Chain A
């Protein structure tokens, strides 16, 4: 089976970029994400979803590339 090296690299870079943004703008993010007015409470939820899609894809490709896959898929 062909391993998804390219997908691993692209998702890995995207995930890395998101975490760099979090590190660089830590103070601003913490201020905005703990506000309780308006639509601000949605920010943590949206951020968690976005990170999980990008980083989750990276993690899936990572295990695929390492060859760690399920023994069987039940239908």
Chain B
């Protein structure tokens, strides 16, 4: 290989426990909102000293089996639109392939700090824009009145559904939409690109299916798991071909996340659709702040800005604190909603 040798970290007992806990919470969030565990897992691993590209590679390798387990669980609940998932996944696979190549090129050109900076900037930009939009929608949907029903179709989605392009129209039964495949192609591609960059394509995929195609939140979040499976599989193979997967990290993450993803999937049967959006928006915005805090640290490593080592250490710890906050907020909203749901109607199956 032509890359510089990769440094795999020594795993301490503390690191293993931390990976199990964040794996569980990440899985819980993925099972609930369809993706997303990774936006916490990647930065958390980077905070442990794992190089950015290894964190993304190990994360994406743990994501496809987790997504498979979550998708199967939610398929049983009738949430998954398999056809939409497959169509989106086809173009997402191309996006992943291109995204991994870009990531690799940046690492060769600018080294580890450059790669970390690129991943962090992608986090900040995408999470701020999409998270802000989803939060706005949650606040709007909670206002009383029929025009603000919990799962109303956006104006953009209404337009997309009204466009008839002969030979490209597809009906997605579970999502209850009929759209041209030409709209799903760029959406899938962008989802794949983002997945390969920050290991969380769902932050384009889920809002895209909700606001561009008009799928209900519960179907969009479940269908994303199908896309995540295929993207994760493609990404894992590609990163494995470069020898970048730290299988220990992957399997330890799976140990926690397979518990979480199933609990999160069960949780979706207890809540109203806006809760899924609320969890998504809250976590995205908090993680955006977390990654914004470390951008100056990577700029310092690249020699672009100068400030003291102590300040850099402080920013790194502050970033980690925001990650923990994101995990706790997401987990608390999901568990709280489940507890309320259990209180409202006893479990039966």
Contacts and interface: CB of A to CB of B under 8 A. Distances in A.
Contacts of B73: 60
B76 interface: yes
A43 B247 CA distance: 9
Given A56-B258, A68-B263, A73-B77, A44 B240 contact: yes
A33 B84 CA distance: 34
B240 A45 contact: yes
Contacts of B348: 69, 71-72
Interface residues of B, number: 45
Contact of A56 (B8, B69, B247, B248): B69
Interface string A25-53: 01001100111100001111101110111
A49 to B, nearest CB: 6
Interface size class of A (residues with CB under 8 A): 35 or more
A53 B254 CA distance: 11
Interface stretch (B57-65, B86-94, B109-117, B139-147): B57-65
Interface of B: 1, 6, 8, 61-62, 64-66, 68-69, 73, 76-79, 233, 236-237, 240-248, 250-251, 254-255, 258-259, 262-263, 265-266, 269-270, 341-342, 345, 347-349
Given A19-B251, A33-B247, A67-B347, 19 more contacts: A19-B255, A26-B248, A29-B248, A30-B8, A34-B6, A34-B243, A36-B242, A36-B243, A41-B240, A42-B240, A43-B247, A45-B236, A48-B62, A48-B254, A52-B65, A71-B341, A73-B269, A74-B77, A74-B79
Interface of A: 1, 19, 22, 26, 29-30, 33-36, 41-45, 47-49, 51-53, 55-56, 58-60, 62-63, 67-75
